[in-house]
Amino acid sequence: MINSKQALQRLKDGNLRYLSDDIAPILINAESRRQLLISQNPFAIILGCSDSRVPAEIVFGQGLGDLFVIRVAGNVVAPSQIGSVEFAAEKFGTSLVVVLGHTMCGAVEATIEQLQRPTELRSPHLHSIVSRIRPGVEPLLDGEGSDDMQVLMRRAVRANIESSVANLRHGSEILESLIDSEKLMIVGAEYCLETGVVDFIEE
């Protein structure tokens, strides 16, 4: 298994291939790859948004078996997502987790809209998503630029990614132990719908 820095570079290289339309050989060579994937060995775990425009394997230029992908609206972190990350990190020894958000995220926009409404007018069905995006986004609603929706959305998307990264890093003793022993790295990334570029948020 490659280490976290090598895995991160592999994703960066893959995004460059995607930007240059050079991913077809990876994606269409499915039959031969299936024969090699009786057991899986993903080199990275991606916790991404369910948005149909951001399929992780494609934007990172990867093929079958390369990524362990967890998708949920707003790339939020709930117990099931934490459990999925723990499973992949322990079972496969995967050393990199990327929380992948994207520009113009509908879940983030819906959260902002819900928080700007009176409590009695908020949707109970969106609560499970809104409640997890809210901590990162709510402080921005009264800050500088909050009256400009485009500015607010850019900041809110980034804040939500960073919040999810923090929740993964500090929401599991298993993941914390792997991080402390330098067996796991968790980073954020933002995909731009207009350009196709993935901007990694690294510390």
pLDDT in tens, 71-86: 999 999 999 999 999 9
State how far the alpha carbon of 157 is from the alpha carbons of 13, 114, 149, 163, 183, in Å.
Answer: 24, 15, 12, 10, 28
From the centroid of its chain, how far is CA 79? 15
Q: Which tops the pLDDT comparison, 168 or 121?
A: 168
- Give the model's confidence band at 144: pLDDT under 50 very low, under 70 low, under 90 confident, else very high: confident
Q: Which CATH code is given to the segment(s) 4-104+165-201?
A: 3.40.1050.10
Q: The pTM is what?
A: 0.91
Q: Is the Cβ–Cβ distance between 198 and 100 less than 8 Å?
A: yes
101: three-class secondary structure by DSSP: strand
User: Highest mean pLDDT: which of 122-126, 127-131, 135-139, 164-168?
Assistant: 164-168
